[in-house]
Amino acid sequence: MRKFWAWGALIFGMLYFILPLLGMTNFSLKMRRGVYSLDAYAVVLGDPRFQATFTYSILMALATIVFGVLLVVPTAYWVRLKLPGLRPYIEFVTLLPLVIPAIVIVFGYIRLYNTSSWLPLTGSITGTNILLMFGYATLALPYMYRSVDTGLRSIDIATLTEAAQSLGAGWTTILARIILPNVLVAVLSGAFLTFAIVIGEFTMAALLNRPAFGPYMQLLGANRAYEPAALAVMSFALTWGCLGLIQLVSRFQKGAQSAT
Amino acid sequence: MSFLTLTSLQKSFGPVQVVKDFNMSIEKGEFISFLGPSGCGKTTVLRMIAGFETPSGGAITIDGRSQQNLRPNQRNIGMVFQAYALFPNMNVAENVAFGLKVAGRPKAEIDARVKEMLGLIKLDHLADRYPYQMSGGQQQRVALARALAPKPQVLLLDEPLSALDAKIRVSLREEIRQIQQQLGITTVFVTHDQEEALSISDRIVVMNAGKADQIGKPADIYNRPATRFVANFVGTLNLIEAKVVDPAANRVSIGDQGVTLREPLGNAKAGDTVSLALRPEAGSTAPDARGDTALTGEVVSSNFLGSVIRTRMKVGDSIISFDMFNSPGLVPPTVGETVTLRFTAGDLLVIRD
């Protein structure tokens, strides 16, 4: 009887999640009347705006990941090593982007960094791109910080740090050659989540008027029928690809099973 | 001049002073053990030498050079940790090479040194293994090789054997001692295991409540404990309360039996109480023994411990344990039996607090 309910719950969950996806995929393949075709995908992939916005978002995602890693890994490491009492406060700060809507954050940015402010980042394309990257990093902060912090918890960072110090290593060497490689899976998990967030993000890119993939999807959705469905399927595939990569990396990481 | 000197070393964590006026001079090539119970400050002293803790007062010099303003990575000190602390992302060879790479040594020199170190710990065949693929004993040997590879001035061992099982512990401690003597490296070893400290050290520092209670050779520490704490902590010991009968003749009484000591009683007056110590292995039973160096009592228990039989007998208000080596023909004393324990006058030590 228990098995029956377990299977029932599983089937219900799968139907709940998979049916809409199947419906959407089915719809994306019906652009040509009467037959299944990949026309909608061909139209999307052939659109120069798709290529431009997708490339832009990928570059922004990579920049966000690099910035996020440089910001979060040393911070989480230092907090765990030297300031453990501050951990609850840091965790609180990193959770704020989950409760403060992106629109509030971006309006705050625009108010602070507009052309008449002391740091007029929105006055140039590069400045706006940097601002958008900061915004993305803020949105990804809860995921990146949590991933890295969990990774740091699994190793004895205090003893590893002292061992490296006694062998002559300075802070940069310790972070780059001891800490980072040992939390690589966690960092990559955070990185892939960041990638997925940046690729689909709409609010910040739209309000900062940058040619990102999110606003392009919205624009397409407002004006076309089949192409948005194709784009959504592609976005899902991309996100799932990222999740698959997280699994793959964690499986193949050297010494992943080790404990100090 | 001593190689490593610790002068008036002090350390407080908030209101708690964990190291109090610690003084010690260590010669080049010496193997020193800090022995004491948990919380006595031994690891804190070690960590101050390594630079991981900043002393609240006092000075540390190595080869005449003050270590005060040097960061841990500038001190040229090798350290082995209880938890091995091998870098999980590196294999054995990479772990051993780490310190040399950080120092920017040429690749050929690094390769040669790694090979030499792995030969020293007899793990050449495991150079490609990762820490998680090795046993605790192997990991600790790699940790030792890694600490020694950059040729440190001083080697610090922070309870390196505590996490290992008993057999490995004995073999590894002998290996550590042999390597230390082979390289002639000045070594400070922290342990709470008296057997470890007694078996491999040139000198032992017995620490109690943040200070050194006694510094001496293992035999001196064991045979002539300076304080009640050392007597209690190192080895098994009978602490016997005795009454001074004749201070000039070093004569005391235990219960109603008189004993003459070899050691002077100092300023004690007739009627004073003094504490005496007697090792269980010091005496032997002798039915006919009489006089100043024998005690007679009633057996209260007798326990078979394998190589020895430990018997407890009541003398006056004191319980005295003594050991007899086990042999096939030995008949252990039975409870209630009266036995006489014979010893030499020098076996009874006067304990000062």
The 10s digit of each residue's pLDDT in A129-158 is 999 999 999 999 999 999 999 999 989 999
Any B CB within 8 A of A47 CB = no
What are the pLDDT digits (tens) for B210-225? 999 999 999 999 888 8
pLDDT tier at B96, thresholds 50, 70, 90: very high
ipTM of the prediction: 0.84
Residues in chain B within 8 Å Cβ distance of A173 = 102
Chain A residues touching residue B138 (CB < 8 angstroms)? none
pLDDT surpassing 60 at residue A256: no
Confidence of residue A33 (pLDDT cuts 50, 70, 90): confident
Residue B225: per-residue pLDDT: 86
Where along chain A do its domains lie? 47-253
Give the pLDDT confidence of B322-336 residue by residue, as tens digits.
Answer: 998 888 888 888 899
Residue B110 confidence (pLDDT): 96
Q: What percent of chain A has pLDDT over 90?
A: 70
Distance CA A41, CA A27 (A): 12
Q: What architecture (CATH level 2) is domain A47-253?
A: Orthogonal Bundle (1.10)
Q: Which of A164, A178, A255 sits opposite B132 (nearest CB)?
A: A255
Say yes or no for a CB contact (<8 Å) between A162 and B81: yes
pLDDT at B162 (0 to 100): 87
B236-276, pLDDT tens digit by residue? 888 888 999 988 888 898 888 888 888 888 788 888 888 88
- State residue B258's pLDDT score: 87
Query: Of chain A residues 162-181, which have a CB less than 8 A from chain B?
Result: 162-170, 173, 177-178, 181
CA distance A225 to B113: 69
As a three-state string, the secondary structure of B244-294 is EEEHHHCEEEECCEEEECCCCCCCCCCCCEEEEEECCCCCEECCCCCCCCE
pLDDT tops 80 at residue A250: no
Question: Searching chain B, which residue's CA lies closest to the CA of residue A183?
Answer: B89
In chain A, which residues have their Cβ closer than 8 Å to the Cβ of B85? Answer: 156, 159-160, 162-163, 260
pLDDT above 80: residue B86: yes
Closest to A160 measured CA to CA, from B118, B81, B148, B76:
B81
Q: Does B62 touch chain A (CB under 8 A)?
A: no
Q: Residue A258: its pLDDT value, please?
A: 45
| Nearest-Cα residue of chain B relative to residue A173 | B102
Q: Select from A157, A159, A161, A167 the residue whose CB has the most chain B CBs within 10 Å, as the one to mutate to test that interface.
A: A167
Q: What is the structure's pLDDT at B66? A: 93
Cβ of A257 under 8 Å from any chain B Cβ?
yes
Model pLDDT for residues A65-110, shown as the tens digit of each residue: 999 999 999 999 999 999 999 999 999 999 999 999 999 999 999 9
CB within 8 Å of chain B, chain A residues 126-155: 155
Query: What is the pLDDT, as a whole number, of residue A98?
Result: 92
Please give the average per-residue pLDDT across B271-296, as a whole number.
82
